[in-house]
Structure 1
Amino acid sequence: MTHDATEGATRSSASRPVRTVWVVAFVLLLVFAVFEATKYGGWVLVAALAGAVAPDLSFLAGISGGPHRHGQLPRRAVPLYNLLHRPVVPVVVMLGCLIPESPSVAVPVFNFGLAWLVHIAADRALGYGLRTPDGWQR
């Protein structure tokens, strides 16, 4: 079995300026998410907390995904992990709040997507990105 040089890597090779942009995005999004969650409270807070952890639920898809090494995501979990860690997906969820006519649905949906986006920005700011087909960090 051959291994490439990125095997076992735990952080992305994103440049410092790119990671700095993600840090700024993370801070701004986090402030906005906390403001929104405390402003509305109740189910909006629950939706925000769910959105913050939702992307990492993809790890559950790999629980019985066969043998893998520390830091490697099982192959069967990689497509779901990569999908849930693309910023466009929570943005689409946030745009979904434009469809319902009821603020009681729109506000939690928006905050779910916002917290999801905060999670992605935090991951990217810390150097965690998408996974290779073999389950390693890119």
Structure 2
Amino acid sequence: MMFTLFKTPIALLKLEGFAVFLMALTIYWQHSFGGWPLFWSTILVPDLAILGYLVNAQFGAKVYNITHSTLLPSTLALVAMGTESTMSLALALIWFVHIGFDRMLGYGLKYPEGFKVTHLGTI
């Protein structure tokens, strides 16, 4: 039944990721912010944080979590709305799409034990 989708908190968090992904992508599409070249050229930028793991797992987890939390894109979106910067709002939406997609697939925030240990379970 429908309630089996909500059987575990992890399933609910993945569904929430899908909702964030779909909402941000729809808003981006409806407003044609920056066009699709901007979208495709920046969608993977947050994943550059993986390079933090070249230092060590603890540093890598911190850098990854900072770039994969919704705090920074939320702040960027608020600043964009306050300054009426469509480019900043477009980038914030793309960032939300990235985070939502990751969560939907089960890539959560990282623990310092290693890249595969996340708040959504072990990858």
- TM-score, with length taken from structure 2: 0.73
Q: 1:92 and 1:49, CA in 2 relative to 1: closer, same or farther beyond 3 A?
A: farther
Greater helix proportion? 2
Measured against aligned partners, the alpha-carbon deviations of 1:76-114 in whole angstroms (never above 9, x if no partner) come to 2111101111112101011111343xx5xx011001011
Task: Tell me which of 14, 17, 26 is aligned to 1:22.
Answer: 17
**Segments of 4+ in structure 1 off by > 3 A?**
38-41, 48-51
Greater strand proportion? 2
Partner of 1:112: 91
Task: Tell me which of 52, 62, 73 is aligned to 1:90.
Answer: 73
Between the aligned residues of both structures, percent identity stands at 24
> Greater CA deviation, 17-26 or 84-93?
17-26
Read off the aligned partner of 1:21 and give its amino acid letter.
E
Is the 1:49–1:115 Cα contact (8 Å) retained in structure 2? no
Q: Specify every segment of 5 or more residues in structure 2 that has no aligned partner in the other structure, as ranges.
A: 1-7
**1-side partners of 2:94 and 2:13: how far apart?**
21
Read off the aligned partner of 2:13 and give its amino acid letter.
V
Using CA pairs under 8 Å that are at least 6 residues apart, name the structure with larger relative contact order, 1 or 2.
1
Is the 1:51–1:114 Cα contact (8 Å) retained in structure 2? no
Alignment RMSD, CA only?
2.4
Three-state SS of the structure 2 residue aligned to 1:15 is: helix
**1-side partners of 2:65 and 2:33: how far apart?**
32
Q: Specify every segment of 5 or more residues in structure 1 that has no aligned partner in the other structure, as ranges.
A: 1-12, 67-73
Is the 2:14–2:104 Cα contact (8 Å) retained in structure 1? yes
Partner of 1:60: 51
Q: 1:108 and 1:29, CA in 2 relative to 1: closer, same or farther beyond 3 A?
A: same
How do residues 1-138 of structure 1 correspond to structure 2 at under 5 angstroms? 14-36=9-31, 38=32, 40-41=34-35, 45-46=37-38, 48-49=39-40, 51-63=42-54, 65=55, 74-100=57-83, 106-135=85-114, 136-138=117-119
- TM-score, with length taken from structure 1: 0.66
